[in-house]
Every structure is written in C-alpha cells, then in structure tokens.
Chain A
C-alpha cells in the first residue's frame, strides 16, 4: 500500500502543531494528524519504552496513562491527547532505579520476553490508582485487557497483587505515623478513619 495519498481532493497533507504533556514535561511538535499517540511517543519524543504491537487495540502493549486512566496509545491520535497529562512506562522509574511496581514484576517473574511488560505496568499502575484495594479476582479480570504470550499471567497477577499489598501497608504505616505524631501534638486522629480519608494510592495518580 502506498503512503502517497495526494489526490485532487487532498493535495497537501496537513501538518499540525500540537503540544503534549508527557511525564511532567511539555513538548511542542509538528506532526501529521494521522500520527497515533504511540507513534508520536516513540518516533517524535523517542520514548521507546511504550511498545507497539497490534495497532488495533487488542494487545495492550501500547498502554499509557491519560489523566491517570489506562488507554491504548494506538487507538488515539496524538492531537486528541492535547490538554491531557500523559504518563509512559519511563515515569515509573524511581530515581535511577526501578519503581515498586517494576520491582514486583521482576521479583515475581511477571515477565519473560518483556515485550508486553510496559503495557502491563501502565495498566496496573492506572488500575491500582483507582482500585488500591483490588482483590486478586479483580486483578485477574483487568490483566485480561492485555496479551502476554510468555508468562501465563499467573506471575503478573501475583506481582500486581503484591505491589498493591505493599502500597497499602506503606500507606497504613504512614497514616499511623501521622496519627502518633498528632497524639503528641494536639488532636488524635484514629488511624482507620484517617486511612479512609486518604485515597489510597493517590500519590501514584497524576490527577
């Protein structure tokens, strides 16, 4: 199939200036409207952590977060992402090292060839931000969104479940720490109530 679509009706290909907010950085770029978000991320912004697989929304390798929610970057044009906060797998790194979710995947052998991994990581990141108390059954359901041909999914489910449990424990510890501090100062905040007020995992969500 030829890429040359110049016809009397469409003599010139439109180029458009778009601005994208990716991993906390603003980018301005000139692209064709037909550039999907995943292609802009990979080719224009050189963020090649996001993979591109099927290009029709089945495999989920291109999953990124758009305003905190997991989306298929192959099923939207970059222009549609203007004004939204985009997060890619590159944003998961904790300083120079792996983030907690990435470490959990590594510890539980939640990957083999690794091609699908960026998509699974972003899917899990977005899902846990919304459902920090997710049951294993809910995690199983959500990982059905993406395809992995190596692991058989069991280890991916375990990695996500473990990461969620650790985040919950860390949050509890933090809230309890705060409560103890409060005891020492003025008002006492019961740890349970405080925990309910803090949207668990909200720190991982961009908005």
Chain B
C-alpha cells in the first residue's frame, strides 16, 4: 500500500532534530534508514504526521575503539558497514557483531538499515537488541536537555517500546569490552526473516586471554587448558518474550558445569529452554520455540568456542 501523507523535515543537526521533535510531540517520528518504519508506514501500521529525517547527519556513523577497549558504533552506521568493517576497525574481540550481521534481513536491507534505527525500533527479535543486552551495551541518547547513557538492560521495555523519550535521538551504542568468545545464531522460517528464536552467548573460558594468569587461583590444581571451565558466561535469547532476555539459569549452568564441550552445551541449552516461557503464535508454539532454544543455545556455544 501507499503510506499516509506526512510532513517531511530534514534535520541539520541532532540538537535541531531534538528541538523539532519536542515541538511536534507524539505525532512525529525519527527516520534514519527507514527499513522498518517505511514498511510499517506502507502497511499503515504507522501513520506519523511528521517525519524528521536524520539520515543525512554527519558524524553519527562509523566505528571506533576507545583507549579502554570499548567499541563505539555511531547510530547511523549501516548493518552492511559493520558486516564489511576491516579487522583494524572491528577486531577479533568484536567479531561476533560482524558475524551476526548476516542474520539481519538481506543485503539490500543491510545497506540502508542502521544500527541505531534497529535499537530504537526495539523489535524483540532484532539482532542488535539481542547483542546489546548480551554484551551490556550502553545506548547514548541526546535530547533537548543534553545527553544520557542508558544501559541496555534498562533500554528495552517491551514490544517496540524503549526508554527513549519522544524528543530523544539515539546517537551511539557503546560495547564496553571485547567478547572474543561470543556468537549469535537464530532460526527463521525463511532466510532473512525475523527470527522465530535467536540465541546469543558470551563465554569466558578460564584459559582464555584474560583468564590465563588467573588459573590456579584459590589454590585449585592447574589443569591443562584451565580445567575446561568457564569463568563467566552470558546467555541471551530473542523471540521468547517482548524484549531480548538474559537467562541467568543457563549462565549459572555454564559456570558450574564442565568441562566444556558438546555435552555441557546440550545440558545448558536444555536448562535455557526450561527457564523461559516463550509465547505461542503464528511463527511457532511455545513447545516448538523451546525445541529451537535447545538447538540454538548449543550451536551458539559451539560457534563461540570455535573462534
């Protein structure tokens, strides 16, 4: 269908856009890449009276690593720019982000769709939302009153609902630390569709880069390969609730269990499946989603440890 009529505003800078949004109120929407919004407008699921186009703003795209090792991604960075980022810009510590991009729609969506747009849209199955929750990202929002940083754990409130105020614009997402043993995987009925279930893990093997000097701590006998255990682990799922969720039970099982290997991953995946209460809808029943979780969490662990 054709979208309903609206008034188009092209922002000159973030401050101007924020002021305009404050002025226009609830009837206005920010548009960046538009890969979710335009589809919703064409369906007339969304009928904003005003669009504030921030797509042309400079200085809001690109990736950079700061002195502390945190990765900053500008809100207007496209999925494809992350997918094709050279190793000197996106190192091994964040390879999980690059690899996850192949799950985001298709190439012509990834060339337009933006990281910030995906996060601000807040789809419960979106890869960026899951990655932000998994890796403790901080989302930087700018409004008429200045800038604030919102932890991912507090950013997503439910279906398409975030902590962003109507007059705030997401300008950057910060991934605070490298995650060399992290992976995201998912299942969708057709390639490129929104995931029925997505699973992501971030593992810290005790013999990993930071753990090497720690092994043997607390008087434990130093085993070959650090004992094959995890010092810490994070597990997050998409498509099982109104927002991406961490699964503490599965994380606990990863750290308590061991040694790592297919047996542990299967066990942990089963724990994850029993720890959530997925919905039944047109994409799959709760039972089906649990079955997917059992497969996907194990696959994600395997992929993370094969890095």
Contacts and interface: CB of A to CB of B under 8 A. Distances in A.
A194 to B, nearest CB: 22
A145 B35 CA distance: 14
Interface residues on B, range: 35 or more
Nearest to B35: A75
A41 to B, nearest CB: 15
Interface stretch (A64-72, A93-101, A177-185): A64-72
A72 B43 contact: no
Given A13-B5, A71-B112, A145 B49 contact: no
Contacts of A14: 5-8
Interface in A129-150: 130, 141-142, 144-146
Nearest to B113: A75
Contacts of B35: 57, 72, 75
A189 B4 CA distance: 59
Nearest to A73: B108
B56 interface: yes
Interface residues on A, range: 35 or more
B61 to A, nearest CB: 14
Nearest to B112: A71
A71 B108 contact: yes
B191 A144 contact: yes
Interface in A39-98: 39, 55-57, 60, 63, 66, 69-72, 74-77, 79-80, 83
Contacts of A63: 108
A81 to B, nearest CB: 10
B253 interface: no
Contacts, number: 106
Interface in A10-44: 10, 13-14, 16, 32-34, 36, 39
B45 to A, nearest CB: 10
Given A80-B53, A144-B191, A145-B192, A32 B5 contact: yes
B30 to A, nearest CB: 13
Contacts of A70: 107-108, 111
B73 to A, nearest CB: 19
B191 A33 contact: no
A150 B61 CA distance: 40
B4 A144 contact: no
A55 B107 contact: no
Interface string B85-125: 00000000000000000100111110110000000000000
A55 B1 contact: yes
B285 interface: no
B111 A34 contact: no
A123 interface: yes
A9 interface: yes
Contacts of B56: 83
B34 interface: yes
B43 A77 contact: no
B10 interface: yes
A5 interface: yes
B58 to A, nearest CB: 12
A5 B191 contact: no
B112 to A, nearest CB: 5
Given A9-B27, A10-B5, A33-B8, A145 B39 contact: no
A119 to B, nearest CB: 9
Contact of B5 (A34, A66, A83): A34
A127 interface: yes
B55 interface: yes
B185 to A, nearest CB: 16
B108 A80 contact: no
A10 B38 contact: no
Interface in B14-71: 27, 31, 34-35, 38-39, 41-44, 49, 51, 53, 55-56
A145 B110 CA distance: 11
A80 B55 contact: yes
B43 A56 contact: yes
Contact of A80 (B3, B34, B84, B105): B34
A3 B3 CA distance: 9
B44 to A, nearest CB: 7
Contacts of A72: 35, 108-109, 112
B34 A77 contact: yes
Q: Which 3 A-B pairs have the closest CB atoms?
A: A145-B106, A33-B8, A69-B111
12 contacts: A10-B5, A14-B8, A34-B6, A34-B41, A57-B39, A74-B38, A80-B31, A83-B56, A123-B107, A141-B102, A145-B106, A145-B109
Interface of B: 1-8, 10, 27, 31, 34-35, 38-39, 41-44, 49, 51, 53, 55-56, 80, 84, 102, 105-109, 111-112, 191-192
